[in-house]
Amino acid sequence: MFKPISRRQWLQWSGFSSASLLLSSCDSSLGSSEIGKAFEPLNQATQTLLLSQKPVPEFPVSAIEPDKLLINTFDQTPQIDPTRYRLHIEGEVNHPMQLSLADLQALPLTSMVIQHVCVEGWAAIVQWGGVRLRELLRLAQPKPSARYVYFKSADGYYESWDLASAIHPQTLMAYQKNGQPLSVDNGAPLRLASPIKLGYKQSKWVTQIMLTNQLMPTKGYWEDQGYEWFGGL
């Protein structure tokens, strides 16, 4: 299991330092973009600390809204043979892995009823079932240098998260929805699900999880078109 992480470690992972604080306190003639860049590590550190403190309240099964979860498509829905499916976990880890759907289903099942919130303005209460992402990362053993987690999908979609959000206890790699096997339209065989992120951060049809020591120029499909990177709730 992951050991509790100290405030100092959170700040280190988020790139916060006394130098960045001093820079952000400088004369306003730096301009808004420079000030924003200076404050970004502090903002990330603050948000990750808040996320780490307590879980998001969940709902009873009776609150599920089965007809409210809309199907958003990025490209064509990929057709994946579940018997040949493999989830690759690689990058800044000590033990790169390939897991079949059967391997994932053999791990402890976590189920949660949460609200899925879309940046477009709609929301739905959904029950997701799957394996905690932190358990998968525990098996892969992230290196001390790991700070970010990238997700690649079978349809070409890509996304990135901070490590703190990825190991949040309510971040799942889900293969069930509302107590039933996940449908292809909803991201089968495997998708991200979490109450701490907006919908565009919750990739469907995930085939690769890659840990990195820095945020790459391509941060995420929608982020690269102007959406906020952190995307937290």
Structure tokens at 143: 């290196």
The predicted pLDDT at position 156 comes to 94
pLDDT digits (tens, 9 = 90+) for 48-75: 555 555 789 999 999 999 999 988 766 7
Residue 16, classed as helix, strand or coil, is: coil
Residue 83, classed as helix, strand or coil, is: coil
Among 33-42, 85-94, 175-184, 202-211, whose mean pLDDT is lowest? 33-42
Domain positions in the chain: 7-53, 61-225
**How many CB atoms within 10 Å of residue 216?**
11
pTM exceeds 0.95, yes or no:
no
Structure tokens at 214: 């820095």
Structure tokens at 225: 């078109």
The predicted pLDDT at position 233 comes to 87
Residue 75 CA to residue 85 CA, distance in Å, equals 20
Strand runs (DSSP E) across 7-147, as ranges? Answer: 87-91, 97-99, 110-117, 123-132
pLDDT digits (tens, 9 = 90+) for 1-29: 434 334 344 334 433 333 332 222 233 33
The highest-level CATH class for domain 61-225 is alpha beta
pLDDT digits (tens, 9 = 90+) for 133-164: 999 999 999 999 999 999 999 999 999 999 99
Residue 69 CA to residue 123 CA, distance in Å, equals 7
Residue 177 CA to residue 118 CA, distance in Å, equals 17
pLDDT digits (tens, 9 = 90+) for 95-112: 999 999 999 999 999 999
Say which DSSP state 229 is in: S
